[in-house]
A = this chain, B = another copy of it.
Amino acid sequence: MPNPAPLPPYYLQQADCSRHTIFPGVDIFTAAGENLMISIVELQPNSVVEPHSHPHEQMGILLEGEFTFTIGGHTKKITPGEIWRIPSNVVHSVVNGPKFSKAIDVFCPVREDYR
């Protein structure tokens, strides 16, 4: 009889997260729950998240730096503390500014490609 699945750890450091380079100069560090995923996003100066979409709902907040977000054709310069809200399947992209930026993104459901 198989053992039950191990309880996921309650506490994690960024170093415990899964790291993916999703675009040149754009690294993410992800932690998955059951239906939620948190992603710490680090963007090198002038890096670009190309336009894309996914069925997963996405929200996020900028912690550090400054970048330009485009969601569903609406473009806005984002400064720390600002929140974005991307409904399922809406095309979005980011152009980072001349400094390093750091953001938190969250997804529902879990992005299997980012585990």
Contacts and interface: CB of A to CB of B under 8 A. Distances in A.
Interface of A: 8-14, 17, 31, 33-36, 38, 40, 57-61, 63, 69, 71-72, 74, 76, 78, 81-88, 104, 106-108
* Copies of this protein in the complex: 2
17 contacts: A10-B72, A10-B76, A10-B86, A11-B76, A11-B78, A12-B85, A14-B81, A17-B83, A31-B59, A33-B59, A33-B108, A34-B88, A35-B108, A36-B107, A38-B60, A104-B104, A108-B108
Nearest to A78: B11
Contact of A83 (B11, B82, B107): B11
Most buried by B among A31, A38, A40: A38
